């Protein structure tokens, strides 16, 4: 048996050394490495896999640009911060909310309402301060206020949806006890966030245009 293979040009070339078991195998030329646009690159999964704390390791910080002061919407599932709140006087003028400083509170004592600004976040990550009413110290019961306070208390432990019940003159509270996910609060401190929310809505001077409007000077 010949130990030479053809080179494709009619000339025999020496075959590679092989064992007796390989003698029955036909000679074949080695296939060239696949190149060009049809070549398929192998993927190294380590190049694309990221860790669960990718944002932290990448140095990404979530900063809230605009911080509203508003009530929860009917369709929103919300959580309220367990410990932080800030009691302020809130003035509603033509559907615009203003925070009144103590030095001018006497100007609007009959119009401003005491509220607790409660840091609130939705399941979709929208952050705002909920102006939760402060219960009247005179003992008068306002069912809207009482049910809002109860909803905020529940929202410190559970995801809650709040809806108005006009016939009953109160808020209905819907609890989602099966959803155990924790709220993802912004990286900014609560003090920074409340300052951001209040700064452009603060009335701290008697000459503020809102007070002038209420006095009939504008």
56-101 residue pLDDT tens: 566 666 777 889 999 999 999 999 999 999 999 999 999 999 999 9
Asked, for residue 115, whether it belongs to a domain, the answer is yes
Of 105 and 21, the one with more pLDDT: 105
Separation between Cα atoms, residue 177 and residue 102, nearest integer Å: 40
Residue 4, strand partner residues: 14
Separation between Cα atoms, residue 199 and residue 191, nearest integer Å: 12
Question: How many domains are contained in the chain?
Answer: 1
Asked, for residue 19, whether it belongs to a domain, the answer is no
Asked, for residue 39, whether it belongs to a domain, the answer is no
Q: Give the per-residue SS3 of 45-77.
A: HHHCCCCCCHHHHCCCCCCCCCCCECCCCCCCC
Residue 131, strand partner residues: 117
Asked, for residue 203, whether it belongs to a domain, the answer is yes
Asked, for residue 134, whether it belongs to a domain, the answer is yes
Identify whether the C-beta of residue 101 lies closer than 8 Å to the C-beta of residue 109. Answer: no
Asked, for residue 69, whether it belongs to a domain, the answer is no
**Domain that residue 140 falls in:** 78-214
Asked, for residue 156, whether it belongs to a domain, the answer is yes
Identify whether the C-beta of residue 100 lies closer than 8 Å to the C-beta of residue 91. Answer: yes
Q: What is the pLDDT of residues 97-129, one digit of tens each?
A: 999 999 999 999 889 999 999 999 999 999 999
Tell me the CA distances in angstroms from 81 to 70, 130, 156, one per residue in order. 15, 11, 6
Q: What is the pLDDT of residues 156-210, one digit of tens each?
A: 999 999 999 999 999 999 999 888 889 999 999 999 999 999 999 999 999 999 9
Q: What percent of the chain has pLDDT over 90?
A: 59
Asked, for residue 136, whether it belongs to a domain, the answer is yes
- Say yes or no to pLDDT of 55 above 60: no
Separation between Cα atoms, residue 63 and residue 83, nearest integer Å: 21
User: How would DSSP label each residue in 70-138?
Assistant: -PPPTT--EEE-SS--EEEEEEEETTEEEEE-GGGGGGGTTT-EEEEEEEEEETT--EEEEEEEPPPTT
């Amino acid at each position: 048996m010949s130990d030479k293979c053809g080179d494709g040009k009619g000339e025999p070339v020496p075959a590679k050394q092989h064992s007796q078991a390989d003698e029955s195998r036909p000679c074949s030329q080695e296939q060239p490495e696949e190149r060009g646009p049809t070549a398929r690159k192998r993927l190294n999964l380590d190049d694309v896999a990221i860790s669960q704390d990718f944002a932290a390791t990448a140095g990404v910080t979530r900063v809230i640009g605009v911080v509203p002061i508003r009530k929860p919407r009917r369709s929103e599932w919300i959580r309220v911060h367990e410990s932080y709140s800030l009691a302020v006087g809130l003035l509603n003028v033509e559907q615009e909310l203003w925070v009144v400083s103590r030095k001018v509170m006497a100007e609007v004592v009959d119009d401003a309402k005491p509220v607790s600004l409660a840091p609130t976040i939705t399941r979709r990550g929208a952050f705002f301060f909920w102006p939760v009413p402060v219960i009247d110290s005179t003992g008068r019961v306002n069912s809207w206020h009482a049910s809002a306070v109860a909803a905020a208390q529940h929202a410190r432990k559970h995801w809650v949806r709040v809806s108005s019940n006009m016939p009953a003159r109160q808020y209905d509270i819907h609890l989602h006890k099966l959803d155990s996910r924790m709220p993802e609060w912004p990286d900014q401190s609560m003090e920074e966030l409340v300052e951001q929310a209040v700064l452009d809505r603060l009335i701290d001077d008697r000459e503020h245009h809102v007070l002038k409007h209420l006095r009939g000077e504008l």
